[in-house]
Structure 1
Amino acid sequence: MKYSIRVLLSSLVIISFYSCSNQTGSIKIKQIEVDAPFEMPPISYPDFSELEQFNIQEFGADPNDQEATSKAIASAISQANSQGGGTVIIPAGEWPTGKIHFKSNVNLHLEKGATLLFSSNPEDYLPAVQSTWEGMECFNYSPLIYAFECENVAITGEGELKAKMDVWEVWFERPEAHMQALKKLYTMASENVPVQDRQMVGNKANFRPQFIQFNRCKNVLLEGVTITNSPFWVIHPFLSKDIIIRGVKVFAHGHNNDGVDPEMSQNILIEDCIFDQGDDAIAVKSGRNQDAWRLNTPTKNLVIRDCLIKNGHQLLAIGSELSGGVENVYMENCAVQEGAKLNHLLFIKTNERRGGQVSNIYMKNINSGKIDLGILGIETDVLYQWRDLVPTYERRLTPIKNIYLDNVKAGNIEFVSRILADPELPVENVQLTNVKYDSLRGDKLIHENVNGFKIQE
């Protein structure tokens, strides 16, 4: 409890000293300054406190009727948007719904005791929308909550966003039809087929949608809500800018259930969150191969602080979809709950097809119990099922440099650092300071092709 109180007070101090506002229509835009070991611009976010509220019950929402509730939410969002901005209220109770599509200047607010229960019928997420699958743009089932080219949007409150999993759990399997669809999309992206021609719905492709996707958005706030279950990645900011994710609780133990996947997005703060999921807690991405080279947008200026991780593959993963580049990432004051299953605290993964670059990655004041593998892992030949599934269209290696870990404590580990890089392009400048552990099961350092590695205990 002391940890939570300290975090809350820290956030309040920052807001009270650094908030400023101006007007975009009737929306107040505030800013928060964030400390980082690199130049970090202020992050803008919307303030809806003085705007009108629109209760979905007044638009015909019915807790026993999914269609009525879906229409009511859409109508309330349209009304708030048409009046220059407003807050759509989800009152206490369980409300069944299909997809939710945002418009600019709207806050979706879930009151305490409110649950939005999202259908697992894929037909409820049609028509297809412009989205992504593992770093490649395509038209797919709509994310459960979807914002495309929106400004000043928020999801707030003490309520719950919950996905029914009946169908998505079946889709976790990757049968032959799904693998053939993966090959098809990979080929189209590699050959720069226009995105509108990459239609991936049907033919049992079974590309599961993200739970929340902010696609090409600006000034985004996600605060306070609990997210339970997810078909795919849980929170996915894509080609977006100025994003705050604060006080969010994620519980999602399905396949590919990363907590947050910032992809080709910039100026992001993730703080005071709890992650309990079946994949990486924070997975930093920037697109795959030719698609990312076309979009040419790095993920940049990301601060993660004061978070608790209860389960996951990695605390912080970078890649393997990093072809647009990842730079300026700072994680501080985060803890991994004792007994959590975790592979690494920091894992950077890429391969010969990715290109891009990784630089200026910082972790400071991190505490963890036992780790299945090690504290730091960097590997440049990670291809998983793609190695034999599809060919390399163009070979581009990934420069990786300037990795800093400071004041990191772990329990039982297999290794402190394992860096397996390509001899053509060694990893450069890795510094570990005050990195401690309780016990070691294997070799402390396992390194191939690293220049400028330093460890100071």
Structure 2
Amino acid sequence: MKTRNTYRMILLLVLFFLTGGRLAAQKNQVILQQVSVEAPFKMPKIKTPNFARVADFVITDYGAEPEDKEKNAIAIEKAIAKAAIAGGNVIIPAGEWKTKKIHLKSNVNLHLSEGAVLLFSPDPQDYLPAVFTTWEGLECYNYSPLIYAFEAKNVAITGKGEVRADISQWRKWFPRPSAHMESIKRLYNWAQDRVPVEDRNMVNDTSNMRPQFIQFNRCENVLVEDIQIRNSPFWTLHLYLSKDIIVRGIDMYAHGHNNDGIDPEMSQNVLIENCVFDQGDDAIAIKSGRNPEGWRLKTPSKNIVVRNCLVKDGHQLLAIGSELSGGIENIYVENCKVADDNEKLMHLLFIKTNERMGGHVKHVYFKNIDANAIREGILGIDTDVLYQWRTLVPTVVRKLTPVQDIYLENVQAKDAKFVAKINGNADLPVRNIHLKNVTLVNASEEEIQTKNVEGFVMK
């Protein structure tokens, strides 16, 4: 028995040295790390994937050629399939690579080398067949997001390279003609009537529903780090029904229609840090489903921390809503700055809902924020924001949104109309709003404007 054990130890030592200090079974392995995040609420540790010990799969080894979107799309798909077997980095080398849609899988890191550009086709046909996705808080089948992950675990997009959307065709879809409006009306009614999502196909000649650039749909352990994002058909980075997410050090520019920067929707345990936003819409917009969808899925967006970010341009630093029927809670934004020459900024924090949304908003913390000129004000809360839906469909079910426990501290701006403007609902007033050391140098209107608010404190 002693001799057998000795041989076994020798064999293990040989394997150890042959594998560079790791046993063979450990060679291709995505490691999960836990990241602690400070917040004024109980914030779970975020599980994030580390791809340092997995193999690399370079797309040129699978037939990629810079100017050939067909070959590149096939090469990327093959590399992803290989990497998913045991975990791997799909490497995009330096240079410009035209491509079609990319569908990520579990245990795969799409890594863009410095100097690499993935240039996505403007042809809508390159994003078919339709996939399980969303449109403004309603689930449906639609054109695939340009980069899409569905029910994936341990998935990432990293590197110093760039993803860029050619929006020459999508730009033609920016307007909302009557045919498009009828399509979103039909989708809303399908959701209201609980029509199965697989029967809500929105790909036809008239819907013109643009896809998100990047969507993580029902994913876990997600990392997006360091990349540059340029242009987008619709929302730029959509985190949908996903959890344990870190978005770090990315730089995005997207000035098309509805070009929010990051949209966490019904997602939980999220850290967004050290990012730069240059948007045609909100920098960060937290959502949780529209009306029947949020009520059906019953998943609040919660435990979301945003810190050390710069907003060069965009409508709001942080918007909450208006799709928030699943509820939004435990939000912390700290140490963020808005560039002095921001041309579009409306509010630093804007909470918007209406009598059809239901859901809830609570425990929102805003601390150490600096801005210069703001078109509206520092804090806006409006419980009657309906946009096109006001005349498109009637109120089918009336559900008010309780909004409470909002805290702003050490927030400064130079020029704006007001410090805070709150339009609560008479049947359900906004409650418990605390402002501490919130200063506006030049106000062109009354600094504090409140309607149907209980418990407003300013120190």
In structure 2, the partner of 1:105 is 107
In the alignment, is the contact (CA less than 8 A) between 1:133 and 1:207 conserved in 2? yes
Instruction: Spell out the pairing of 1:369-388 with structure 2 (5 A cutoff).
Output: 369-388=372-391
Give 1:410's aligned residue.
413
- 206, 221, 225: which one aligns with 1:219: 221
3-state SS in 2 of match to 1:30: strand
Correspondence for 1:32: 35
Q: TM-score, normalised by structure 1?
A: 0.94
Q: What is the distance in 1 between the residues matched to 2:414 and 2:52?
A: 45
Instruction: Give the SS at the match of 1:36.
Output: coil
| Partner Cα distance (1:289, 1:180) in 2 | 18
1:327 is the counterpart of 2:329: yes
Residues 293-334 of structure 1, C-alpha deviations (whole Å, 9 max, x = no match): 000000000000000000001010000000000000000000
Structure 1 residues 383-394: aligned runs within 5 Å:
383-394=386-397
CA contact (8 A) 2:122 2:167 kept: yes
Question: What do the CA deviations read for 1:388-436 (whole angstroms, capped 9, x no partner)?
Answer: 0111110000000000000001010100000001110000000000011
Distance 1:221 1:24 in 2: 21
State how far apart, in whole Å, the 2-side matches of 1:71 and 1:394 are: 47
Q: Which residue of structure 2 aligns with residue 259 of structure 1?
A: 261
- Match for 2:57 among 54, 57, 62? 54
1:177/1:203 contact within 8 Å kept: no
1:133 alignment partner AA: W
Q: State the distance in 2 between where 1:97 and 1:351 align.
A: 41
Inter-partner Cα distance in structure 1 for 2:411 and 2:103:
41
Give per-residue Cα distances to partners, 1:224-283, cap 9 Å, x unaligned.
000000000000010000000000001000100000000000000000000000000000
- Distance, in Å, in 1 between the alignment partners of 2:434 and 2:293 is 32
Q: Which has the larger radius of gyration?
A: 2
SS in 1 for 2:61: helix
**1:145 lines up with 2:144 in the alignment:** no
Structure 1 match to 2:21: none
1:355-370 to 2 correspondences below 5 Å: 355-370=358-373
Q: Which residue of 1 aligns with 2:23?
A: none
Secondary structure of the 1:261 match is strand
Is 2:451 the counterpart of 1:441?
Answer: no
Q: Which runs of 5+ in 2 are unaligned?
A: 1-25
Q: Secondary structure at the match of 2:262?
A: coil
Q: Does 2:72 match 1:69?
A: yes
Classify the secondary structure of the residue corresponding to 1:186.
Answer: helix
* Most deviating of 110-119 and 384-393: 384-393
Q: Within 5 A, what are the aligned runs for 1:45-444?
A: 45-82=48-85, 84-341=86-343, 342-444=345-447
Secondary structure in 1 aligned to 2:390? helix
Query: How far 1:36 moved relative to its partner?
Result: 0.1
Please give the secondary structure, in 1, of the residue aligned with 2:84. helix
The answer to whether the 8 A contact 2:28-2:55 is kept is: no
- Contact 2:27 / 2:53 at 8 angstroms: preserved in 1? no
Amino acid at match of 1:208: R
- The one-letter code matched in structure 2 to 1:50 is R
Equivalents in 2 of 1:203, 1:295: separation in Å?
30
- SS of residue matched to 2:375: coil
The answer to whether the Cα contact below 8 Å between 1:70 and 1:100 also exists between their aligned partners in 2 is: yes
State the alpha-carbon separation in 1 of the partners of residues 426 and 43 from structure 2.
33
The amino acid of 1:167's aligned partner reads: Q
Q: Determine the C-alpha separation between the residues in 2 that align with 1:43 and 1:50.
A: 20
Number of residue pairs matched by the alignment: 433
Paired with 1:408 and 1:385, the residues of 2 have a C-alpha distance of: 32
Cα displacement (A) at 1:24: 12
Q: Distance in 1 between matches of 2:72 and 2:28?
A: 29
Q: Confirm or deny: 8 A CA contact 1:32 1:44 kept in the other structure.
A: yes
Query: Runs of at least 4 residues of structure 1 off by over 6 A?
Result: none
Q: Conserved in 2, the CA contact under 8 Å of 1:343 and 1:372?
A: yes
Partner Cα distance (1:182, 1:26) in 2 = 44
Unpaired stretches in structure 1, ≥5 consecutive residues? 1-22
DSSP 3-state at the match of 1:170: helix
Q: Tell me how far apart the structure 2 counterparts of residues 369 and 201 of structure 1 sit (CA, whole Å).
A: 43
SS at match of 2:206: coil
Distance 1:121 1:307 in 2: 33
RMSD of aligned Cα (Å) = 1.0
Q: Which amino acid aligns with 2:404?
A: K
| C-alpha contact 1:80 1:86 (8 A) present in aligned 2 | yes
Letter in structure 1 aligned against 2:94 = A
1:273 and 1:113 map into 2 onto residues whose CA distance is: 19
CA distance in 1, matches of 2:167, 2:44: 39
Quote the offset at 1:203 in angstroms.
2.8
